[in-house]
Amino acid sequence: MDQELRDAARDHLVRYGQGEIDRLYVSARGAVITDDEGREILDFTSGQMCATLGHSHPAIVKTIQSGVVDAVHMFSGMIPEPVARLAKKLADWLPGSLSKVLLVSTGSESNEAALRMAKMVTGGYEVIGLGGSWHGVTGQSTALSYASDRRGYGPKVPGVSMIPEPYAYRCPVRHCRDKCDMTCMKIGLNMFDMASEGAPAAIIAEPILSAGGVIVPPDGYFKMLQDEAEKRGMMLIFDEAQTAFGRIGAKTAAEKLGITPDIMSVSKTLGGGLPLAATITTDEIEEKAHAQGFNFYTSHVSDPLPALAGLAVLETLVEEDLIERANQTGAYLRQHLGALQQKYEAIGDIRGQGLMFGIDLVKDRESREPDLELGDVTTRRCMELGLSMNIKRRPERGAVWRIAPPLTVTHDEIDRGIGILDQALREGLDELAGSK
Protein backbone atom coordinates (compact mmCIF):
# COMPACT_ATOMS: atom_id res chain seq x y z
CA MET A 1 0.00 0.00 0.00
CA ASP A 2 1.30 3.45 -0.96
CA GLN A 3 -0.30 5.90 1.49
CA GLU A 4 1.08 8.87 -0.45
CA LEU A 5 -0.80 7.73 -3.56
CA ARG A 6 -4.01 7.19 -1.58
CA ASP A 7 -3.67 10.71 -0.20
CA ALA A 8 -3.03 12.07 -3.70
CA ALA A 9 -6.21 10.40 -4.96
CA ARG A 10 -8.26 11.92 -2.14
CA ASP A 11 -6.63 15.33 -2.47
CA HIS A 12 -6.66 15.76 -6.24
CA LEU A 13 -9.38 13.64 -7.87
CA VAL A 14 -12.86 14.99 -8.47
CA ARG A 15 -15.45 12.70 -6.90
CA TYR A 16 -17.77 11.72 -9.73
CA GLY A 17 -20.26 9.56 -7.88
CA GLN A 18 -18.07 6.62 -6.90
CA GLY A 19 -18.05 7.29 -3.14
CA GLU A 20 -15.09 7.92 -0.88
CA ILE A 21 -11.64 6.75 -1.95
CA ASP A 22 -10.48 4.30 0.72
CA ARG A 23 -8.14 2.21 -1.42
CA LEU A 24 -6.54 1.96 -4.85
CA TYR A 25 -6.56 -0.96 -7.27
CA VAL A 26 -3.52 -2.39 -8.98
CA SER A 27 -4.56 -5.20 -11.32
CA ALA A 28 -7.47 -7.13 -12.82
CA ARG A 29 -7.46 -10.62 -14.34
CA GLY A 30 -10.49 -12.62 -15.38
CA ALA A 31 -13.16 -12.09 -12.73
CA VAL A 32 -10.73 -10.96 -10.01
CA ILE A 33 -9.52 -7.46 -9.11
CA THR A 34 -6.59 -6.91 -6.71
CA ASP A 35 -6.36 -3.84 -4.49
CA ASP A 36 -3.28 -2.05 -3.15
CA GLU A 37 -3.22 -4.26 -0.06
CA GLY A 38 -3.10 -7.44 -2.14
CA ARG A 39 -6.71 -8.35 -1.40
CA GLU A 40 -8.57 -10.18 -4.19
CA ILE A 41 -12.11 -9.06 -5.00
CA LEU A 42 -14.47 -11.08 -7.14
CA ASP A 43 -15.96 -8.81 -9.80
CA PHE A 44 -19.66 -9.44 -10.48
CA THR A 45 -20.18 -6.34 -12.64
CA SER A 46 -17.46 -6.94 -15.27
CA GLY A 47 -15.88 -3.61 -14.41
CA GLN A 48 -18.37 -1.00 -15.61
CA MET A 49 -20.18 -3.81 -17.50
CA CYS A 50 -17.41 -3.58 -20.13
CA ALA A 51 -15.03 -6.48 -19.43
CA THR A 52 -17.37 -9.03 -20.98
CA LEU A 53 -14.55 -11.46 -21.72
CA GLY A 54 -13.08 -10.91 -18.26
CA HIS A 55 -10.36 -8.49 -17.31
CA SER A 56 -7.18 -8.57 -19.40
CA HIS A 57 -8.30 -11.47 -21.57
CA PRO A 58 -5.21 -12.85 -23.37
CA ALA A 59 -6.74 -12.11 -26.79
CA ILE A 60 -7.27 -8.46 -25.88
CA VAL A 61 -3.82 -8.12 -24.31
CA LYS A 62 -2.15 -9.66 -27.36
CA THR A 63 -4.12 -7.38 -29.68
CA ILE A 64 -3.11 -4.25 -27.76
CA GLN A 65 0.54 -5.29 -27.60
CA SER A 66 0.75 -5.93 -31.33
CA GLY A 67 -1.59 -3.11 -32.36
CA VAL A 68 0.37 -0.28 -30.81
CA VAL A 69 3.28 -1.07 -33.12
CA ASP A 70 1.29 -0.05 -36.21
CA ALA A 71 -0.97 2.80 -35.06
CA VAL A 72 -2.77 4.00 -31.95
CA HIS A 73 -4.46 7.05 -33.47
CA MET A 74 -4.81 8.81 -36.83
CA PHE A 75 -6.38 11.94 -38.28
CA SER A 76 -10.15 11.50 -38.02
CA GLY A 77 -10.64 11.83 -41.78
CA MET A 78 -8.40 8.81 -42.43
CA ILE A 79 -9.90 5.32 -42.27
CA PRO A 80 -7.45 2.75 -40.85
CA GLU A 81 -7.62 -0.83 -42.12
CA PRO A 82 -8.79 -2.26 -38.74
CA VAL A 83 -11.78 0.09 -38.85
CA ALA A 84 -12.82 -1.25 -42.26
CA ARG A 85 -12.40 -4.83 -41.03
CA LEU A 86 -14.48 -4.24 -37.90
CA ALA A 87 -17.22 -2.47 -39.88
CA LYS A 88 -17.52 -5.51 -42.16
CA LYS A 89 -17.50 -7.90 -39.22
CA LEU A 90 -20.25 -5.94 -37.45
CA ALA A 91 -22.35 -5.82 -40.62
CA ASP A 92 -22.09 -9.63 -40.83
CA TRP A 93 -22.80 -10.02 -37.11
CA LEU A 94 -25.86 -7.78 -36.74
CA PRO A 95 -29.43 -8.60 -37.79
CA GLY A 96 -31.41 -7.45 -40.80
CA SER A 97 -30.18 -4.57 -42.88
CA LEU A 98 -27.98 -2.94 -40.22
CA SER A 99 -24.79 -2.57 -42.24
CA LYS A 100 -23.47 1.01 -41.95
CA VAL A 101 -21.13 1.58 -39.00
CA LEU A 102 -19.77 4.66 -37.23
CA LEU A 103 -17.04 3.83 -34.67
CA VAL A 104 -16.68 6.15 -31.69
CA SER A 105 -15.47 5.87 -28.09
CA THR A 106 -18.37 5.78 -25.61
CA GLY A 107 -22.00 4.80 -25.28
CA SER A 108 -22.99 8.42 -24.79
CA GLU A 109 -21.33 9.28 -28.10
CA SER A 110 -22.98 6.42 -29.95
CA ASN A 111 -26.39 7.54 -28.70
CA GLU A 112 -25.68 11.17 -29.57
CA ALA A 113 -24.82 10.09 -33.11
CA ALA A 114 -27.94 7.93 -33.36
CA LEU A 115 -30.19 10.76 -32.18
CA ARG A 116 -28.55 13.32 -34.48
CA MET A 117 -28.99 10.97 -37.41
CA ALA A 118 -32.66 10.29 -36.59
CA LYS A 119 -33.43 13.98 -36.20
CA MET A 120 -31.70 14.90 -39.45
CA VAL A 121 -33.38 12.18 -41.52
CA THR A 122 -36.89 12.61 -40.10
CA GLY A 123 -36.72 16.39 -39.87
CA GLY A 124 -38.18 16.19 -36.36
CA TYR A 125 -36.68 16.76 -32.93
CA GLU A 126 -39.08 15.07 -30.49
CA VAL A 127 -37.62 11.94 -28.89
CA ILE A 128 -39.18 9.47 -26.45
CA GLY A 129 -37.29 7.48 -23.83
CA LEU A 130 -38.43 4.89 -21.29
CA GLY A 131 -38.64 5.52 -17.57
CA GLY A 132 -35.72 3.85 -15.80
CA SER A 133 -33.51 4.19 -18.86
CA TRP A 134 -29.85 5.20 -18.95
CA HIS A 135 -28.29 6.40 -22.20
CA GLY A 136 -25.30 8.47 -21.10
CA VAL A 137 -24.13 11.75 -19.60
CA THR A 138 -23.86 14.04 -22.62
CA GLY A 139 -26.47 16.49 -23.93
CA GLN A 140 -29.16 14.45 -25.66
CA SER A 141 -28.29 11.13 -24.01
CA THR A 142 -28.55 12.49 -20.47
CA ALA A 143 -31.82 14.26 -21.31
CA LEU A 144 -33.24 10.83 -22.16
CA SER A 145 -31.84 9.08 -19.08
CA TYR A 146 -34.47 8.72 -16.37
CA ALA A 147 -32.87 6.23 -13.98
CA SER A 148 -31.12 8.95 -11.92
CA ASP A 149 -28.89 12.03 -11.94
CA ARG A 150 -31.31 14.46 -13.59
CA ARG A 151 -31.27 17.20 -10.97
CA GLY A 152 -28.93 20.13 -10.56
CA TYR A 153 -27.65 20.54 -14.11
CA GLY A 154 -30.12 23.01 -15.57
CA PRO A 155 -32.47 22.68 -18.55
CA LYS A 156 -32.33 19.60 -20.75
CA VAL A 157 -32.40 19.39 -24.54
CA PRO A 158 -35.88 20.42 -25.76
CA GLY A 159 -38.25 17.86 -27.22
CA VAL A 160 -37.66 14.88 -24.91
CA SER A 161 -40.53 12.87 -23.43
CA MET A 162 -40.82 9.80 -21.24
CA ILE A 163 -43.20 6.86 -21.30
CA PRO A 164 -43.48 4.66 -18.17
CA GLU A 165 -41.29 1.58 -18.18
CA PRO A 166 -42.82 -1.94 -18.35
CA TYR A 167 -41.94 -2.81 -14.76
CA ALA A 168 -44.64 -5.32 -13.83
CA TYR A 169 -43.12 -6.11 -10.43
CA ARG A 170 -43.56 -2.48 -9.39
CA CYS A 171 -45.89 -1.03 -12.03
CA PRO A 172 -45.30 2.72 -12.52
CA VAL A 173 -48.96 3.31 -13.53
CA ARG A 174 -50.29 1.14 -10.67
CA HIS A 175 -52.10 -1.13 -13.12
CA CYS A 176 -50.36 -4.51 -13.44
CA ARG A 177 -48.88 -6.96 -10.99
CA ASP A 178 -46.34 -9.48 -12.26
CA LYS A 179 -47.60 -9.52 -15.87
CA CYS A 180 -47.36 -6.33 -17.95
CA ASP A 181 -50.20 -5.80 -20.44
CA MET A 182 -48.44 -2.73 -21.92
CA THR A 183 -50.93 -0.21 -20.57
CA CYS A 184 -47.85 1.77 -19.51
CA MET A 185 -46.85 2.19 -23.16
CA LYS A 186 -50.36 3.11 -24.28
CA ILE A 187 -50.74 5.76 -21.57
CA GLY A 188 -47.27 7.17 -22.24
CA LEU A 189 -47.78 7.42 -25.99
CA ASN A 190 -51.19 9.03 -25.53
CA MET A 191 -49.60 11.66 -23.32
CA PHE A 192 -46.85 12.20 -25.89
CA ASP A 193 -49.41 12.66 -28.65
CA MET A 194 -51.28 15.27 -26.60
CA ALA A 195 -48.07 17.20 -25.89
CA SER A 196 -46.38 16.78 -29.29
CA GLU A 197 -45.65 19.82 -31.40
CA GLY A 198 -45.80 17.72 -34.55
CA ALA A 199 -42.07 17.08 -34.93
CA PRO A 200 -41.54 13.39 -34.00
CA ALA A 201 -38.07 11.92 -34.58
CA ALA A 202 -37.28 8.78 -32.58
CA ILE A 203 -37.95 6.40 -29.72
CA ILE A 204 -34.82 5.15 -27.95
CA ALA A 205 -34.90 2.11 -25.68
CA GLU A 206 -32.66 -0.40 -23.94
CA PRO A 207 -33.92 -3.95 -24.62
CA ILE A 208 -33.27 -4.59 -20.92
CA LEU A 209 -33.32 -1.50 -18.70
CA SER A 210 -30.20 -2.16 -16.66
CA ALA A 211 -29.67 0.92 -14.50
CA GLY A 212 -33.43 1.11 -13.94
CA GLY A 213 -33.35 -2.20 -12.09
CA VAL A 214 -32.69 -4.84 -14.77
CA ILE A 215 -36.22 -4.57 -16.13
CA VAL A 216 -37.05 -7.13 -18.82
CA PRO A 217 -39.99 -5.97 -21.00
CA PRO A 218 -42.66 -8.60 -21.75
CA ASP A 219 -42.96 -10.60 -24.96
CA GLY A 220 -44.38 -8.47 -27.75
CA TYR A 221 -43.40 -5.18 -26.16
CA PHE A 222 -40.84 -4.14 -28.74
CA LYS A 223 -42.93 -5.24 -31.72
CA MET A 224 -45.70 -2.99 -30.44
CA LEU A 225 -43.22 -0.18 -29.76
CA GLN A 226 -41.82 -0.50 -33.28
CA ASP A 227 -45.34 -0.37 -34.76
CA GLU A 228 -46.17 2.71 -32.69
CA ALA A 229 -42.95 4.41 -33.81
CA GLU A 230 -43.79 3.73 -37.47
CA LYS A 231 -47.29 5.15 -37.03
CA ARG A 232 -45.78 8.43 -35.86
CA GLY A 233 -42.99 8.57 -38.44
CA MET A 234 -40.39 7.97 -35.73
CA MET A 235 -37.27 5.85 -35.88
CA LEU A 236 -36.71 3.08 -33.34
CA ILE A 237 -33.24 3.16 -31.74
CA PHE A 238 -32.00 0.22 -29.68
CA ASP A 239 -29.35 1.11 -27.12
CA GLU A 240 -27.59 -2.24 -26.77
CA ALA A 241 -24.71 -1.00 -24.66
CA GLN A 242 -25.14 -3.91 -22.25
CA THR A 243 -27.21 -6.48 -24.15
CA ALA A 244 -25.15 -6.96 -27.32
CA PHE A 245 -22.30 -9.42 -27.90
CA GLY A 246 -23.19 -12.30 -25.65
CA ARG A 247 -24.19 -10.76 -22.33
CA ILE A 248 -27.80 -12.04 -22.51
CA GLY A 249 -26.97 -15.28 -24.31
CA ALA A 250 -27.42 -13.98 -27.86
CA LYS A 251 -25.47 -12.00 -30.43
CA THR A 252 -27.79 -9.07 -29.77
CA ALA A 253 -31.12 -8.48 -28.07
CA ALA A 254 -32.48 -7.43 -31.47
CA GLU A 255 -31.76 -10.89 -32.86
CA LYS A 256 -33.25 -12.54 -29.77
CA LEU A 257 -36.40 -10.42 -30.05
CA GLY A 258 -36.72 -10.78 -33.81
CA ILE A 259 -36.80 -6.97 -34.13
CA THR A 260 -34.49 -4.93 -36.35
CA PRO A 261 -34.39 -1.30 -35.20
CA ASP A 262 -33.69 1.59 -37.55
CA ILE A 263 -30.53 2.42 -35.63
CA MET A 264 -28.58 0.47 -33.03
CA SER A 265 -25.96 1.80 -30.63
CA VAL A 266 -23.45 -0.56 -29.03
CA SER A 267 -20.62 0.18 -26.64
CA LYS A 268 -19.60 -1.45 -23.35
CA THR A 269 -19.52 -5.06 -24.51
CA LEU A 270 -17.67 -4.35 -27.77
CA GLY A 271 -14.28 -3.06 -26.61
CA GLY A 272 -13.10 -5.77 -24.23
CA GLY A 273 -12.36 -3.06 -21.67
CA LEU A 274 -11.16 -0.42 -24.13
CA PRO A 275 -13.33 2.61 -24.98
CA LEU A 276 -15.12 1.57 -28.17
CA ALA A 277 -18.67 2.16 -29.31
CA ALA A 278 -20.60 2.15 -32.56
CA THR A 279 -23.71 3.56 -34.16
CA ILE A 280 -25.10 1.21 -36.79
CA THR A 281 -27.90 1.82 -39.28
CA THR A 282 -29.18 0.84 -42.72
CA ASP A 283 -27.87 1.81 -46.15
CA GLU A 284 -31.03 3.82 -46.78
CA ILE A 285 -30.87 5.86 -43.58
CA GLU A 286 -27.13 6.47 -43.94
CA GLU A 287 -27.60 7.65 -47.52
CA LYS A 288 -30.30 10.12 -46.50
CA ALA A 289 -28.23 11.39 -43.56
CA HIS A 290 -25.14 11.82 -45.73
CA ALA A 291 -27.10 13.67 -48.41
CA GLN A 292 -28.27 16.13 -45.75
CA GLY A 293 -24.77 16.74 -44.40
CA PHE A 294 -24.60 14.41 -41.39
CA ASN A 295 -21.48 15.15 -39.33
CA PHE A 296 -19.99 13.49 -36.27
CA TYR A 297 -16.35 14.44 -36.54
CA THR A 298 -14.80 13.69 -33.14
CA SER A 299 -11.14 13.45 -32.10
CA HIS A 300 -11.29 9.67 -31.75
CA VAL A 301 -13.78 8.59 -34.40
CA SER A 302 -12.44 5.57 -36.34
CA ASP A 303 -9.37 5.05 -34.13
CA PRO A 304 -7.39 1.95 -35.15
CA LEU A 305 -6.36 0.43 -31.80
CA PRO A 306 -9.85 0.13 -30.27
CA ALA A 307 -11.10 -1.28 -33.57
CA LEU A 308 -8.55 -4.08 -33.29
CA ALA A 309 -9.84 -4.80 -29.77
CA GLY A 310 -13.40 -4.97 -31.10
CA LEU A 311 -12.33 -7.52 -33.72
CA ALA A 312 -10.65 -9.58 -31.00
CA VAL A 313 -13.82 -9.50 -28.89
CA LEU A 314 -16.05 -10.77 -31.71
CA GLU A 315 -13.54 -13.47 -32.69
CA THR A 316 -13.12 -14.63 -29.08
CA LEU A 317 -16.87 -14.85 -28.52
CA VAL A 318 -17.02 -17.33 -31.38
CA GLU A 319 -13.79 -19.22 -30.70
CA GLU A 320 -14.61 -19.79 -27.01
CA ASP A 321 -18.35 -20.31 -27.60
CA LEU A 322 -19.05 -17.65 -24.98
CA ILE A 323 -22.61 -16.93 -26.06
CA GLU A 324 -23.70 -20.47 -25.30
CA ARG A 325 -21.56 -20.38 -22.17
CA ALA A 326 -23.48 -17.28 -21.03
CA ASN A 327 -26.71 -19.28 -21.27
CA GLN A 328 -25.34 -22.30 -19.47
CA THR A 329 -23.46 -20.41 -16.75
CA GLY A 330 -26.37 -17.99 -16.43
CA ALA A 331 -28.71 -20.92 -15.75
CA TYR A 332 -26.31 -22.14 -13.07
CA LEU A 333 -26.20 -18.67 -11.47
CA ARG A 334 -29.99 -18.27 -11.65
CA GLN A 335 -30.47 -21.63 -9.94
CA HIS A 336 -28.29 -20.53 -7.02
CA LEU A 337 -29.96 -17.11 -6.83
CA GLY A 338 -33.30 -18.92 -6.72
CA ALA A 339 -32.07 -20.96 -3.76
CA LEU A 340 -31.21 -17.71 -1.96
CA GLN A 341 -34.70 -16.41 -2.74
CA GLN A 342 -36.22 -19.49 -1.13
CA LYS A 343 -34.07 -18.85 1.94
CA TYR A 344 -34.67 -15.11 2.31
CA GLU A 345 -38.03 -13.33 2.24
CA ALA A 346 -36.09 -10.15 1.47
CA ILE A 347 -35.47 -11.31 -2.12
CA GLY A 348 -38.70 -10.36 -3.80
CA ASP A 349 -37.87 -10.84 -7.47
CA ILE A 350 -35.09 -12.12 -9.71
CA ARG A 351 -34.98 -10.78 -13.26
CA GLY A 352 -32.62 -11.10 -16.17
CA GLN A 353 -31.28 -13.13 -19.07
CA GLY A 354 -28.00 -14.85 -19.80
CA LEU A 355 -25.44 -13.49 -17.34
CA MET A 356 -27.29 -10.31 -16.41
CA PHE A 357 -29.50 -10.31 -13.32
CA GLY A 358 -31.33 -7.94 -11.03
CA ILE A 359 -32.27 -9.04 -7.49
CA ASP A 360 -35.06 -6.90 -6.03
CA LEU A 361 -34.77 -6.51 -2.24
CA VAL A 362 -38.02 -5.87 -0.35
CA LYS A 363 -39.26 -5.41 3.20
CA ASP A 364 -41.96 -8.00 2.50
CA ARG A 365 -43.15 -9.78 -0.61
CA GLU A 366 -46.77 -8.70 -0.37
CA SER A 367 -46.25 -4.93 -0.25
CA ARG A 368 -43.01 -5.11 -2.29
CA GLU A 369 -41.79 -2.01 -0.50
CA PRO A 370 -38.12 -1.55 -1.46
CA ASP A 371 -35.65 -2.19 1.34
CA LEU A 372 -33.18 0.54 0.48
CA GLU A 373 -31.38 0.23 3.80
CA LEU A 374 -30.82 -3.51 3.36
CA GLY A 375 -29.53 -2.86 -0.14
CA ASP A 376 -26.92 -0.43 1.17
CA VAL A 377 -25.85 -2.62 4.09
CA THR A 378 -25.52 -5.82 2.08
CA THR A 379 -23.69 -4.19 -0.84
CA ARG A 380 -21.16 -2.69 1.55
CA ARG A 381 -20.78 -6.02 3.36
CA CYS A 382 -20.26 -7.88 0.08
CA MET A 383 -17.33 -5.61 -0.73
CA GLU A 384 -15.85 -6.19 2.72
CA LEU A 385 -16.11 -9.93 2.13
CA GLY A 386 -14.51 -9.72 -1.32
CA LEU A 387 -17.37 -9.37 -3.81
CA SER A 388 -17.96 -6.32 -5.98
CA MET A 389 -21.48 -5.78 -7.30
CA ASN A 390 -23.64 -2.70 -7.15
CA ILE A 391 -27.04 -1.63 -5.92
CA LYS A 392 -29.51 0.36 -7.98
CA ARG A 393 -31.65 2.09 -5.38
CA ARG A 394 -34.56 4.45 -5.95
CA PRO A 395 -37.72 4.56 -3.83
CA GLU A 396 -39.94 4.32 -6.93
CA ARG A 397 -37.92 1.56 -8.61
CA GLY A 398 -36.61 -0.50 -5.75
CA ALA A 399 -33.33 -1.64 -4.24
CA VAL A 400 -31.89 -3.93 -6.89
CA TRP A 401 -28.58 -5.73 -6.81
CA ARG A 402 -27.17 -5.76 -10.33
CA ILE A 403 -25.10 -8.85 -11.07
CA ALA A 404 -23.28 -9.34 -14.38
CA PRO A 405 -20.02 -11.29 -14.08
CA PRO A 406 -17.77 -11.83 -17.10
CA LEU A 407 -18.90 -14.47 -19.59
CA THR A 408 -15.74 -16.38 -18.65
CA VAL A 409 -16.70 -16.67 -14.98
CA THR A 410 -16.29 -20.19 -13.59
CA HIS A 411 -18.75 -22.23 -11.53
CA ASP A 412 -16.29 -22.11 -8.63
CA GLU A 413 -16.30 -18.30 -8.78
CA ILE A 414 -20.09 -18.27 -8.86
CA ASP A 415 -20.20 -20.59 -5.85
CA ARG A 416 -17.86 -18.24 -4.01
CA GLY A 417 -19.95 -15.20 -4.95
CA ILE A 418 -23.20 -16.86 -3.87
CA GLY A 419 -21.62 -17.74 -0.53
CA ILE A 420 -20.70 -14.08 0.00
CA LEU A 421 -24.20 -12.91 -1.00
CA ASP A 422 -25.67 -15.39 1.46
CA GLN A 423 -23.45 -14.21 4.31
CA ALA A 424 -24.01 -10.54 3.50
CA LEU A 425 -27.80 -10.98 3.51
CA ARG A 426 -27.80 -12.93 6.75
CA GLU A 427 -25.57 -10.45 8.53
CA GLY A 428 -27.32 -7.45 7.00
CA LEU A 429 -30.75 -8.62 8.17
CA ASP A 430 -29.36 -9.32 11.65
CA GLU A 431 -27.73 -5.89 11.78
CA LEU A 432 -30.90 -4.07 10.80
CA ALA A 433 -33.04 -6.14 13.18
CA GLY A 434 -30.65 -5.30 16.03
CA SER A 435 -30.79 -1.57 15.30
CA LYS A 436 -34.58 -1.38 15.70
Q: Which residues are catalytic?
A: 134, 206, 239, 242, 268, 402
Q: Which distant-in-sequence residues (6+ apart) come within 8 Å of 303 by Cβ?
A: 72, 73, 74, 80, 83, 103, 105
Q: Is 357 exposed, middle or buried (0-12, 13-18, 19+ CB in 10 A)?
A: buried
Determine phi and psi for 169, rounding to 5 degrees: -70, -30
> Going by DSSP bridges, is the β-strand pair 235-239/200-205 parallel, antiparallel, or unpaired?
parallel
**Any long-range contacts for 289-296 (C-beta under 8 Å, 24+ apart)?**
289/117, 289/120, 289/121, 292/120, 292/121, 293/120, 294/116, 294/117, 294/120, 296/102, 296/104, 296/112, 296/113, 296/116
* CB half-sphere exposure, 138, CA atoms < 13 A: 11
Q: List beta partners, residue 202.
A: 127, 235
CB-CB contact of 231 with 388 (8 Å): no
